[in-house]
């Protein structure tokens, strides 16, 4: 009988910390992006291709979440940017307190882009604000095109859908047009980019979207 009140209390506390994080990010002129997907959709590969495209002088950092292991952090650290693994030990999502703790000894004034790779899950992460500027949902073509209909919350809350692994389209029964239509039936104004981390197809469009968001963030900060 106490489950609903307890859940509300947990989410209320998370929202309080997330609001504080959001204010800190805004004060430091940081664009914070929260990447969410099912396990195996290719978030880490996407971040690898993204980081390798940046000049090493870019003020970029990554927090990556997993239930166990630091494998993703090791993969991403080789590009020379600050990377930290958050191991949840069983929790199926990151929460604002985890982000707050992970940032304790990082100088936010040295960053202007923070990318958060959430735990692989389309359900739980949609309920937990991390103080981010935007959520991004990644859907691979090895999954069903009805995923937006099955998991509407995260598609409704995300500004961008990245359709990943499009190099596999000749080999899997995935209807891209239906997937995009399903996503836009949930979020009409959602941006959509098709990407292959193997062939690099679509990476220019993704990086262009990212660059536009960074420019908007800088302009907003300058106007304050």
Give the domain ranges of the chain: 3-218
Classify domain 3-218 at the CATH topology level.
Rossmann fold (3.40.50)
* Confidence band of 5 (pLDDT split at 50, 70, 90): low
Structure tokens at 102: 């992970």
The packing angle between helices 43-53 and 203-223, to 10°, is 70
* Confidence band of 1 (pLDDT split at 50, 70, 90): very low
Mean residue pLDDT across the chain: 94
pLDDT in tens, 97-143: 999 999 999 999 999 999 999 999 999 999 999 999 999 999 999 99
pLDDT in tens, 21-54: 999 999 999 999 999 999 999 999 999 999 999 9
On the question of pLDDT at 69 being above 50, the answer is: yes
* Confidence band of 222 (pLDDT split at 50, 70, 90): confident
Report the b/e string of 110-119 with b at 16+ CB within 10 A: ebbbbbbbbb
On the question of pLDDT at 207 being above 70, the answer is: yes
| Phi, psi angle pair for 72, to nearest 5° | -65, -40
């Amino acid at each position: 009988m106490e489950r609903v009140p307890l859940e509300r209390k947990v989410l209320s506390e998370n929202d309080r910390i997330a609001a504080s994080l959001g204010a800190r990010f805004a004060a430091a002129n940081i664009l914070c992006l929260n990447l969410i997907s099912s396990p195996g959709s290719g978030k880490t590969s996407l971040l690898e291709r993204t980081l390798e495209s940046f000049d090493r002088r870019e003020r970029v950092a990554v927090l990556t979440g997993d239930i166990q292991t630091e494998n993703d952090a090791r993969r991403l650290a080789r590009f020379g940017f600050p990377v930290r693994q958050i191991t949840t030990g069983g929790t199926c999502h990151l929460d604002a307190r985890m982000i707050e703790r992970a940032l304790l000894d990082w100088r936010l004034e040295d960053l202007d882009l923070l990318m958060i790779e959430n735990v692989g899950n389309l359900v739980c992460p949609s309920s937990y604000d991390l103080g981010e500027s935007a959520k991004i949902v990644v859907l691979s073509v090895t999954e069903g095109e009805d995923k937006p209909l099955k998991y509407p919350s995260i598609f409704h809350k995300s500004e961008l859908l990245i359709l990943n692994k499009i190099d596999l389209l000749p080999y899997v029964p995935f209807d891209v047009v239906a997937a995009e239509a399903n996503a836009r039936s949930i979020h009409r104004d959602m941006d959509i980019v098709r990407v292959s981390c193997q062939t690099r197809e679509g990476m220019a469009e993704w990086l262009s979207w990212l660059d536009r968001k960074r420019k908007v963030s800088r302009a907003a900060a300058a106007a304050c």
